[in-house]
Chain A
């Protein structure tokens, strides 16, 4: 091994990479929020909806969980234009990731609904709570607490998953790392710095999520 590390050729590009990291966070946040709403809607249908709607949702979930995200985005980006739907790479990735996350978040939230404690509902009923009071004081706090850790987990997964956007020339962190690599050919330096930025990103997110969880729900989540 005669490879000598020369970070100085890459350090000048760090602000450029960090701006990419910002886009990474945006993509993760958008796809998570949209996926969360899709999941909440679907989980409600799976738990309480009519049979036809349940089959439709189950079909969606099965399809998106059992095909690779990359293939899904390829489909959206390269096949939909045939039907006249032209999307920017950023939009295609954001839509693909949202639909994909929606499938996982459906399953997560359905499990949350299923974890409702009959016992607490019985107690509230016997004490004369009205339905809105029961939902607000008993059901929502329970579901929110039960779902917080897996939802936080899914967000971290979304952050990592954004890296597939590089394939579609979206200039998020991995995309920009790829660009810097083409300019400098200092692959080890570029990708080690990129890895450190990813780690910093997820650590900051995990820490923030853990603190929020502790504050909101007394969740004693491990930060690392």
Chain B
């Protein structure tokens, strides 16, 4: 029984060419899915479609036994309840402290008691190594710290599935590891994650399943050993031949 199922998901930005065409995938709970592929292959669009930032034109998304209808408000709200996304550029609220960034959505959207949310937000920030930065504003934090606030903010929503969209590609090489360590820890906790990344070594290490996409389509799906060492499709062979030389 798949925990997350995508069937024929198709989407485009404002009537232009499809950025996602006929994407069908199935994942079990606790899986870490690495989404790889060249720029413009639809990896980020797939994550944006799942949280309803990009409206699918056709296809079906099922979480557990719940079908998400991206046209209906209630259903979209339910989907946003299940997914939390972390963006490449962190997308933190600049006018709020780290603590408020983490605490605002649970209090405002999920109507949980603020004292309890705040306590949890402190715990989450401490967990991602920012115990001393509760009251810092985003512009007072480094990129790596901001990205960890963004991860804590996503976790505060108690998502069933965490979506990570190139979370390390805006960071200095030195800061990449602090974010990767955070993700490793989440993996150890059993969090289901979809990770779009160009950090191939990292994907290979943490992913249970790797999805290779090109031009909006899923080209190949398999365990890391297959994708990186024994690619089946010609397009993936070409891709891995290029990237794995570095």
List residues of chain A with CB under 8 Å of any chain B CB: 117, 119-120, 122-129, 133, 137-138, 141-142, 145, 217-218
Contact A127 B84, beta carbon cutoff 8 Å: yes
Q: List 5 A-B contacts (CB under 8 A).
A: A120-B91, A125-B53, A126-B53, A127-B109, A128-B77
Separation of A218 and B138 alpha carbons in the complex (Å): 12
Q: A120-B94, A141-B95 given as contacts; is B104 within 8 A of A126 (CB)?
A: no
Cβ contacts under 8 Å, A125 to chain B? 51-53
Contact B77 A119, beta carbon cutoff 8 Å: no
The verdict on B81 contacting chain A, using a C-beta distance below 8 Å, is: yes
Contact B94 A128, beta carbon cutoff 8 Å: no
Taking A124-B93, A128-B77, A133-B108 as given, write out 7 further A-B residue pairs in contact, using a Cβ cutoff of 8 Å, ordered by the A residue number: A123-B91, A123-B92, A126-B51, A128-B81, A129-B108, A133-B109, A137-B108
Separation of A120 and B92 alpha carbons in the complex (Å): 6
Contact A119 B109, beta carbon cutoff 8 Å: no
Q: Which of B83, B89, B108 has the most CB of A within 10 A?
A: B108
**Chain A interface mostly:** helix
Least CB distance from A215 to B in Å reads 14
Least CB distance from A128 to B in Å reads 4
List residues of chain B with CB under 8 Å of any chain A CB: 51-53, 77, 80-81, 83-85, 87, 89-95, 104-105, 108-110, 137, 157
Cβ contacts under 8 Å, A142 to chain B? 94-95
Contact B85 A126, beta carbon cutoff 8 Å: yes
Separation of A129 and B53 alpha carbons in the complex (Å): 13
Closest to A140 in B: B95
Contact B89 A119, beta carbon cutoff 8 Å: yes
Cβ contacts under 8 Å, B90 to chain A? 119
Separation of A124 and B89 alpha carbons in the complex (Å): 14
Cβ contacts under 8 Å, B110 to chain A? 128
Contact A127 B157, beta carbon cutoff 8 Å: yes
Cβ contacts under 8 Å, A126 to chain B? 51-53, 80, 83-85
Cβ contacts under 8 Å, A141 to chain B? 95
Contact A129 B109, beta carbon cutoff 8 Å: yes
Cβ contacts under 8 Å, B157 to chain A? 127
Separation of A137 and B157 alpha carbons in the complex (Å): 18
Cβ contacts under 8 Å, A124 to chain B? 93
Separation of A151 and B133 alpha carbons in the complex (Å): 32
Cβ contacts under 8 Å, B51 to chain A? 125-126
Separation of A137 and B108 alpha carbons in the complex (Å): 10
Q: Which of B87, B91, B92, B105 contacts A128 (CB 8 A)?
A: B105
Least CB distance from A114 to B in Å reads 16
Separation of A124 and B53 alpha carbons in the complex (Å): 10
6 closest residue pairs by CB, A with B: A123-B91, A119-B91, A141-B95, A127-B105, A126-B51, A128-B80
Cβ contacts under 8 Å, A137 to chain B? 93, 104, 108
Closest to A144 in B: B95
Contact B93 A123, beta carbon cutoff 8 Å: yes
Separation of A96 and B91 alpha carbons in the complex (Å): 43
Separation of A120 and B105 alpha carbons in the complex (Å): 13
Separation of A93 and B81 alpha carbons in the complex (Å): 57
Cβ contacts under 8 Å, A123 to chain B? 85, 87, 91-93
Contact B109 A128, beta carbon cutoff 8 Å: yes
Least CB distance from B86 to A in Å reads 9
